[in-house]
Structure 1
C-alpha cells in the first residue's frame, strides 16, 4: 500500500470513529432526555393534587408562579369552597370580599299579606351565590322586592341564606326614575343591544346616561361605606357598573377591584357607536383586573382601548397601562357550582320525567325538548321555533311524537323590543300548534312565567334534549346547568356556536341559530341518537363542567388578585426603603419572567 493510500485509509478510519462516537453520544443524550421526561411525568403524576387536596394545590401553585412570574394553571387544582376559603385565609389574610351586582341573590315579596322569599333563576346569581357563601363576604345589590325594605335591619342589611346565614346582603334603594334611566334605559336599551350583535338598534339618551352615572356613584358610596378597611377585594359585576371601578379607585386606591363583564364585548367599530365610549373605557380601567368569558372578548376590549384612549397595550402580559395604573385583561370562563346543591334534594330522573309529563299532559311516547331562559331577543327563541317548523315539514313522522317546552321568564316587559318579542313568540306558537297539532297534542308549549331553580332542574332532568340557541352570548349557563342536572348521563344538548359555552362543551351538537335547516338536522340527529352515544357525550361534558366549575372561575381571579397584592406590597417596601419602585406591576411581572429564564 502506498503512503498516500495509507494516509487516506487512516483518515477514513478516523472519520468513521468520530461518526460512531457522535452517534453513540447522541443515542445516550436521547436516552437521558427520555428518562428525564419519564421522571418528570412520574413526578407530575405523584404531585398532581388529589380530590381532597385542592386548597394545598392552589397554594403550591401560587408559590410556584410567584417564582417564575407566570400565570397559574388553575386546571391542576380541584376547586371547592374550601379551596376559596384557604386562598383567602392564607394568601389574602384579612381581605374583605365585596360583591356588587344589580340583581340580588334573594328577593322578598309580599304575597297575600305574607312575605315570600324568591331565589331568582339567574345565571349571575347561580354563579356568584356559592362564591359569596364560601367567602363570607358582603353582597351589595339593588333591592327591588316589594318586601325587601321590611326584611332589612337599620343599616339596610340582611343575613343570608335565610336557612343558614353565611354572608351579608346590603340592599341599595333606587327610585323609579333612577331604575328607569340606569337599568331600563342606558344599561338595557343602550349597552345590552350594543354588546349583543343581534341587529337591534341601541338607544342612547343623555338623560339615561346622567342617571347611569348617578346610580354608579350611589353604589360607589355604599361600597366605601361597607368596606372595613382600605384594602378590600371588590368584585364588580357586569355592564350595569362600567363607571364603578374608577369611582371606587378614587376613594379606595389600595383596593383590588376585579370587574367581570358577563356579556360579549363588541369589536371597536361597533363600540364606537356609544357616545360615551371613552368614559366607559376609563371607568373600567379603574379595575385591577378586567375579566371576560372568552379571549375573543378580551381582544375586542383591548382593541377598543387601543383605538379610543392614550394607553400602552402590554399584549404579552395581557395588560393595559393607562393613567399611571396597570389593568390585567384576562379570560375567566364562568361556570356553576359542582355538584349542584339542588341535586341532593331532587327525585330520580324517572320521577322527574313522570312529574313533568303529568304536569304538561304529555304521553309516554312523546319526546320532550326544552328551552329555558329569560324572554330576550338575544336568546334565539323564535329561531328554534322556525327550526321546529322545518323539522316537522321534512320529517312529519315526529308530528305527535315531539313536544317543545319553552320556559320564558318575563323580562324587561316595559321596553318596546321585549313587548314585540313576546307578541311575536305568541303568534308563532299559535301558528305551529294550529298547523301541526291535533286533539290532545300541542307541538309547542310556551310558559311565560318565572320558575324556581328547583323547578328548572326538574325540567332539565325530564327532558330528552335541550336547545340553547343564543344569537350572541357571553357564556350561557343554561347549557352547563342542563349537563350538571343529568347524572343519568342521558339527554342531548344543542348549543349555539355564538355562546361562550360552545368553546368548552364540544360534545354538544353545535349549531348556527341563523340556519333553521341546520338546526332541524341537528334535532333529527338528537332525536335518533343511540343511548350509548348520548352517554359518551354527556359523560365528557360533565367532566368539563365538574373540572371548570364556578369555584375555579372565582379562584383563578383570587389567585391573580393575590399575586397583584403581593407585588403591590413588595413595591411599597421597596419604595419605603428608598429604592426605585416605578409603580408598574406589569413591568415587575415581566422582570420575574426574564429572570426565571
Structure 2
C-alpha cells in the first residue's frame, strides 16, 4: 500500500484508459515478489475525481483508491505536505494545523484500510508505505486481525520536542502501533519514535521492542527499527555503461564549455534540500576568487514539486532570483556560473548527467535518505567523481567515504567544495570504490528482503544457513571473549507437549561441547524454565552458565541464586494458583506448570479457540485480582510471575559476569525479544522460526541452530589456531 500506485495513467487515442509501469526503485524491488506471491498493490492512480476498477498490470493486481479534488487538496497537499512534511523535517518551514485537513486525512486513511481489508487473503502480509498512510495499520488491524502488518516511513521521524507540536500526536502514534513492524531510515528516527511512544503512552520499550496493549486488552510486541532504503544499483550501472549514455555525457560537457570541473545538484524543488545554501556557498567562492566560471560550473536540476503549495511557490521565486543574480554577476559570454533547469528528466538523462559531473552536491537540511547520492555512486563505474553529502541526509550513515558537511555551515560547505574540486585522482578512486561497495552490497532488493524477512519470518525462512549469517559468524568468532547464550525449547530442542521430554537435536549438544572447550568462549542457557528443570538438560559442571525463570534464578559458575519468596509473594502465588486452576480445570488440553516465582498456563494441547479463550480469561482475572503481577505471552503459554525479570536482564547479567567482548544470542519466542533488544552493534542475534523480531538473522528451526553453532565452533577454532582471536578480524 502506498499513496500512489506503481503505474501511470494515460488516455489512448480511442479514449480508453491506458497504464504504464512507473519508474522507481521501490517498484523495481517489489515487482518480482508481487508477481510470485499473487500480490496486490493498493494506491491512488494519480487522477482525481475518477473511479477505476481493479485491474491486472504485468502480473500484479492493481487496486485503485479514489480521491476527490477536495480530498487531494486537504489530505495530500494539506495535511500530508503542509502539516506532516514540514513538521517531520525539523520545522524548516512552519507547519499548518487545520482540523478540516486532519478529518480528510482520517477519512482517506480509512478508505485505504478498507480497500486492503477487502482484497487481502487470510493471513496476508500487508506492507504500508509512508507518512500519508500512518493511520492505516491500526484501522486495518481492527478490520482484519488475521493479517501481518508492516509499515515503512520513508521520511525522518522528528524528536519529541518537535513532534509534540502536532495536535493529533497520540492518534498518529496509535495508528502506527497497529503494525507488527515499523521501519525507519535511521537509528535516530526509530529512537525518536520509541521515545514519543514512551512519553505519550507509557509503554515499556527495550531497544527496538515496544510492548503495546491493543484496544481489546491483548498485549502485543511491536518492533521499531531502521532499514535504510537503497536503489537498484545494478540497473543504474548498466544504464551508465551504455555507449549512447556515455556519448551523451561527453556532449553535456561540451555544451557546458568543457570546464575543468562540473558540479551537479539534483533535487526536487523543496525547502528541505538546501539548494539555496549550496548556491550561496558557490557564489561566495566565486566572489572570493577561489573558483572561476572558466574552470568550474554548477548544474542545478530542480524538478517541480507541489507547485500549488504556497511555501513551494515562494521557494521557486527565491531560488530563481539567486540563480539570476549569480549568473548576472559572474557569467561570461562563453561560461555560465549556473545552468539551472526547473524540470524533471528521464533516468537516461540523469545517468548521463551523473557521468558528466565531477562533483555531486547533496546539501539537504533534512532528508530521510536521499537516493540521488546513491544513484550518483552507482552510475560511476569509472570509480571517479566526488560526493559531497550532508550529514542530515540518511545516506550519510552509510556513505562514510563522501565528504560529509553541515549545510548550515556555509564556510564548511565552501571548504568541502574546494576539497572536492582539488582532490587527487587516486583519492577520488579510493573513496568512490568504497562508496560503490556499500551501495551495491546494500541495494533495494536487499532492503526489501530484510524488511519482509523481519516482518514475516516463516514465509521467508529457508533451510540451511544463509550466506550473510556465515560471514557474520566468522567475524564474531574473532572477538577475544565470546558469550554464546541460547534459549533451549524451540531453539536447541523442538517444542514438545511435555517439557521433560525435550531433547536437543542431533549435533547441537556436540557443537555446544566444542564451544565450551575453546578458550575465551562461555556458553549459557537462558530459559523460561525453572532452574531445576534447566539442570536436567545442561550440567553446570561442564561449564554451562544457567539463567532460569527468565533470569529470576541464575547459576553462575560456583555461585547460584535460589528463590526465597517473602510472605506477600507467597500469598500472591497461592491466589494465582487458585485463579488459574479454576479457569483452566474445565478446559481439556490446558495445564499449569509450577515455577519458583510463578506459574505458567500451557495451552499447546487445547484447541486454538479454547486456548485463546482460557488465556484471555486468565489474564483478565489476574490483572483484576493481582494488579502489578508480571505477565508474559509466549508460544501457547501464558506466564505469571510475582517477581519481575526478563531474558534481557539475564543476558545483561551474564555479559557482566563473563566480561564478554561480544555476544551471540539465539531464541525463538516472544520472550527472547527482550534479549535481542539487549544486544549491541557488535553482537549477533538469531531468531528461530516465524514472527517479527529484533534479531538481525533468522533460521528455520533447531536443526539449523546446530549447524550455526558448529560453524561458530569451526571459525573460532580456526581463529585460535592462527592466533587471530585477540582482536577484531582484519576483514
Task: Identify whether the pair has TM-score above 0.5, normalized to the shorter chain.
Answer: yes
Residue pair 1:108, 1:147 contacting (<8 A) in 2 also: no
Residue pair 1:120, 1:453 contacting (<8 A) in 2 also: no
Structure 1 stretches of 5 or more lacking a match?
1-99, 160-164
Residue pair 1:137, 1:168 contacting (<8 A) in 2 also: yes
Residue pair 1:101, 1:238 contacting (<8 A) in 2 also: yes
Q: 1:224, CA displacement in angstroms?
A: 1.3
Matched, 1:590 2:683: no
Greater strand fraction, Structure 1 or Structure 2 = 2
**Which residue, 531, 546, 550 being the options, matches 2:425?**
531
Matched, 1:200 2:200: no
* Corresponding residue pairs, total: 483
Matches of 1:287 and 1:171, distance apart in 2? 22
Residue pair 2:367, 2:392 contacting (<8 A) in 1 also: yes
Greater helix fraction, Structure 1 or Structure 2 = 1
TM-superposition CA deviations, 1:291-336 (whole Å, max 9, x none): 10111111100111111114222x1453332322221111111111
Residue pair 2:293, 2:335 contacting (<8 A) in 1 also: no
What residue number does 2:414 align with? Answer: 520
What residue number does 1:318 align with? Answer: 209
Q: 1:101, CA displacement in angstroms?
A: 0.8
TM-superposition CA deviations, 1:274-293 (whole Å, max 9, x none): 01111101100000001101
Matches of 2:377 and 2:347, distance apart in 1? 15
Matches of 1:508 and 1:256, distance apart in 2? 38
Matched, 1:233 2:135: no
What residue number does 2:223 align with? Answer: 328
Q: 1:572, CA displacement in angstroms?
A: 8.7
Pair 1:397–1:187, CA change in 2 (3 A): closer
Structure 2 stretches of 5 or more lacking a match?
462-489, 496-601, 616-631, 636-645, 648-668, 677-685, 687-708, 710-731
Matched, 1:509 2:407: no
Q: 1:260, CA displacement in angstroms?
A: 0.5
TM-superposition CA deviations, 1:180-237 (whole Å, max 9, x none): 111001111111011101531110110001100110011111111221x221111110
Query: Using CA pairs below 8 Å that are at least 6 residues apart, which structure has the higher relative contact order?
Result: 1
What residue number does 2:607 align with? Answer: 576
Residue pair 2:212, 2:220 contacting (<8 A) in 1 also: yes
Pair 1:462–1:132, CA change in 2 (3 A): farther
Matches of 2:672 and 2:353, distance apart in 1? 53
Q: 1:407, CA displacement in angstroms?
A: 1.1
Q: TM-score normalised to the size of structure 2?
A: 0.61
Matches of 1:346 and 1:117, distance apart in 2? 29
Pair 1:230–1:281, CA change in 2 (3 A): same
Matched, 1:383 2:277: yes
Residue pair 2:125, 2:456 contacting (<8 A) in 1 also: no
**Which residue, 77, 81, 85 being the options, matches 1:184?**
77
What residue number does 2:434 align with? Answer: 540
What residue number does 1:442 align with? Answer: 336
Residue pair 1:342, 1:454 contacting (<8 A) in 2 also: no
Pair 1:429–1:316, CA change in 2 (3 A): closer
What residue number does 1:340 align with? Answer: 235
User: Equivalent residue of 2:257, what SS?
Assistant: coil
User: Equivalent residue of 1:466, what SS?
Assistant: strand
What residue number does 1:459 align with? Answer: 353
User: Equivalent residue of 1:339, what SS?
Assistant: helix
**Which residue, 62, 65, 90 being the options, matches 1:169?**
62
User: Equivalent residue of 2:233, what SS?
Assistant: coil
Residue pair 2:234, 2:440 contacting (<8 A) in 1 also: yes
Q: TM-score normalised to the size of structure 1?
A: 0.75
What residue number does 1:103 align with? Answer: 4
What residue number does 2:170 align with? Answer: 278
What residue number does 2:144 align with? Answer: 252
> Which has the higher mean CA deviation after the structures are superposed, 121-130 or 202-211?
121-130
Q: Please report the RMSD computed on the Cα atoms of aligned residues, expressed in angstroms.
A: 3.1
What residue number does 2:55 align with? Answer: 157
Matches of 1:455 and 1:110, distance apart in 2? 26
What residue number does 1:27 align with? Answer: none
Matched, 1:143 2:45: yes
Pair 1:197–1:112, CA change in 2 (3 A): farther
User: Equivalent residue of 1:107, what SS?
Assistant: strand
What residue number does 1:88 align with? Answer: none
User: Equivalent residue of 2:183, what SS?
Assistant: strand
TM-superposition CA deviations, 1:238-281 (whole Å, max 9, x none): 10011000111011112111100111111111111001111101
